[in-house]
Structure 1
Amino acid sequence: MVHVAVAGGTGHVGRAIVQGLIDSQEHQVYVFTRKPTSVFDHLPAVNIIVISYDGQDEIQNVLDKHEIEVVLSTVSPAGSAAFDAQVRLIRACSNSESVKRFAPSEYLIDLEREEEYQPFMPMLTFQRNIVKELRSHPNLEWTLFHNGYFMDYFGQPWAPTTMPSEVPFVDIEACQATIPGSGDDLAVWTHTTDVAKFVSRAISMKPGTWKEHSWIIGDKASLHEILRAAEKARGTKFRVAYDSVEKLKGGEVTPIPGNKAHAALYSTPEFDAYPLVLSMFAGIGTAIVSGHLDVPESESLNAEFPDIKTIKVVEFIEECWTGKQP
Structure 2
Amino acid sequence: MAPTVAVAGATGGVGKTLVEQIQHENKFPVIALTRQEHVESPVAGVQYVQVDYDDVDALARHLEAHQVQTVICAIGMLGDDCSEAQLNLINAAKQAASVQRFMPSEWGYYTVTREERKYIDPGIDWFLTAANALKESDLKFTRPVCGAFMDFLGLPHARSNIPPWNIAVDVLNREACIPGDGSTPLTMIYSYDAGTFVAKLLELDEWPEFSFCAGEDTSLGEALRLAEEVCGQKFKVTYMKPEDIANGDIPPMRIAEGSGIQPEDAQTYNVFGYQLYLAEAFHLPHEGRVGNSFPDVKTKTVKEFLTETWSAHV
Which residue does 1:86 correspond to in 2? 86
CA contact (8 A) 1:253 1:279 kept: no
Question: Deviations along 1:237-267, whole A, 9 cap, x unmatched?
Answer: 111111122223334433222xx33896244
**Percent of residue pairs bearing the same amino acid type:** 28
Answer with 146-155 or 79-88: which moved more: 79-88
Change (3 A) 1:149 1:66: same
Deviation at 1:193, TM superposition (A): 0.8
Alignment of 1:227-306 (within 5 A): 227-257=224-254, 260-261=255-256, 265-267=260-262, 274-306=263-295
Measure the CA separation in 1 of the matches of 2:268 and 2:131: 24
CA contact (8 A) 1:225 1:314 kept: no
Q: TM-score by structure 2 length?
A: 0.92
Alignment of 1:1-326 (within 5 A): 1-39=2-40, 43-44=44-45, 46-113=46-113, 115=115, 117-118=117-118, 120-137=120-137, 139-206=138-205, 209-257=206-254, 260-261=255-256, 265-267=260-262, 274-325=263-314
Question: Deviations along 1:130-187, whole A, 9 cap, x unmatched?
Answer: 22322332x0111111111111111111112111111230111111111112211221
Question: Which residue identity does 2:74 align to in structure 1?
Answer: T
Give the superposed CA RMSD: 2.1
Measure the CA separation in 1 of the matches of 2:91 and 2:180: 42
Q: Structure 1 regions of 5+ residues with no counterpart?
A: 268-273
Question: Deviations along 1:67-111, whole A, 9 cap, x unmatched?
Answer: 110000111211222222111110010121111111111111124
Q: TM-score by structure 1 length?
A: 0.89
SS state at 1:255 partner: coil
SS state at 2:99 partner: coil
CA contact (8 A) 1:117 1:283 kept: no
Question: Which residue identity does 2:167 align to in structure 1?
Answer: P
CA contact (8 A) 1:147 1:189 kept: yes
Change (3 A) 1:28 1:263: closer
Question: Which residue identity does 1:19 align to in structure 2?
Answer: E
Question: Which residue identity does 2:235 align to in structure 1?
Answer: F
Measure the CA separation in 1 of the matches of 2:95 and 2:54: 16
CA contact (8 A) 1:64 1:98 kept: yes
Question: Which residue identity does 1:62 align to in structure 2?
Answer: H
Change (3 A) 1:310 1:31: same
Question: Deviations along 1:47-84, whole A, 9 cap, x unmatched?
Answer: 22121112111111111111110000111211222222
Measure the CA separation in 1 of the matches of 2:100 and 2:290: 20
Change (3 A) 1:210 1:262: farther
Deviation at 1:116, TM superposition (A): 6.7
Measure the CA separation in 1 of the matches of 2:233 and 2:102: 46
